[in-house]
Every structure is written in structure tokens, then in C-alpha cells.
Amino acid sequence: MAKYLLLKHYRHSGPKPVPGTEAMMDQWTPEEITAHIEYMNRFAEKLVESGEFVSEGALSPEGTFVRYDGEGRPPVTDGPFAETKDLIAGFMIIDVESQERAYEAAAELSAAPGQGGRPIYEWLEVRPFFAELQATAE
């Protein structure tokens, strides 16, 4: 088994959105939003049932950059930056048998219904976690 992070972005510098899917959620109808949320909840439940769910979370779009500024000094903060190219909306961590299965799960997440009940065709970023080094690998 291997763990993968499925990243949802508000915005990203990856591939261009599929034409016709650009409308943000605030332009959907309330029913469309509910259908979307229900799909996402059901997706997570299915992953628990299949023994593949690890964790999920949603992130506020407003964030701040923070760094160390020397001994005894308070942290330095910067932002928020309205125009950053990459903005993460949320994540899901899954523990699956293969990379193919991770992609399959990501594609299912990407098929969540959006405007008009059509799949949103959203690009998900799939990143493998580092594993433990195998005991016999030497």
C-alpha cells in the first residue's frame, strides 16, 4: 500500500481547465452546490468502506506567509497575496494498492457534479508520500 495526497486547488499553474467548467461555485445554484457537497461526502465514505481513506481537510483561501526573523524577535508575516498562482483549497490522503488506483480515485473526485449537474472535470494534483525504506532493501 502507498499513501497519496490528492490536492484540490482554487487556482493552480498546472493544466488549463476543461472548456465550459470555468464557472466558480458562487455562480452555481444552491441545489447544485448541495449535490456537489453530497457527492464529496459520499466519496469519502466510500473510501472508508474500501479501507483506503486516511484523512481529508478543507482550507480557507486566506493565508499568511510567516518566517523566522532572528533570535528573540517575533515572527515576520506577509500577505495575504490575492494573486498567488497556486492556491490550495483542500486535500485528501488515501492509502491504496497502486498508482493506478490513486489515479482512479482522483478521477472519481474530479467527476463531482457542478453546474447543471455536469462533472466539474477538475484537475486534481496527485502526489505520492515517501514510504518507509524496505527492511530488505540493502
Partner 1 sequence: MHTGQVNDLLRTLAPQVLGILVRRGADFAGAEDAVQEALIEAVQHWSDSLPDDPKAWLLRVAGRKLIDAQRSEAARRRREQRVHDEPPPGPTEQSDDTLLLLSRCCHPALSPASAVALTLRAVGGLTTAQIARAFLVPEATMAQRISRAKRTIAGERFDTPGDVRAVLRVLYLIFNEGFTGEISLADEAIRLTRQLVAAEAAEPVRMDPEIAGLLALMLLHHARRDARYTASGELVPLDQQDRSRWDTAMIAEGVAVLQDALARDRLGEYQAQAAIAALHDDAPTADETDWPQILEWYDELARLTSSPVVALNRAVAVGQVDGPRAGLAALGDVDPGLARWDAVAAHLYERADDVGRAIQHYTAAADRATSAAERTHLIKQAARLRAQA
Query: What does the binding site for partner 1 look like in residue numbers (CB under 8 A)?
Result: 1, 3, 47-55, 95, 97, 128, 130-138
Select 20 or 128, whichever has its Cβ closest to partner 1: 128
Q: What is the C-alpha separation between 89 and 97, in angstroms, rounded?
A: 26
Structural element, H or E, at residue 3: strand 2-11
Shortest distance in whole angstroms from residue 137 CB to partner 1: 8
Select 24 or 137, whichever has its Cβ closest to partner 1: 137
Shortest distance in whole angstroms from residue 132 CB to partner 1: 4
Cβ–Cβ < 8 Å for 110, 124: yes
Shortest distance in whole angstroms from residue 96 CB to partner 1: 9
Count of other CB atoms within 10 angstroms of residue 32 = 18
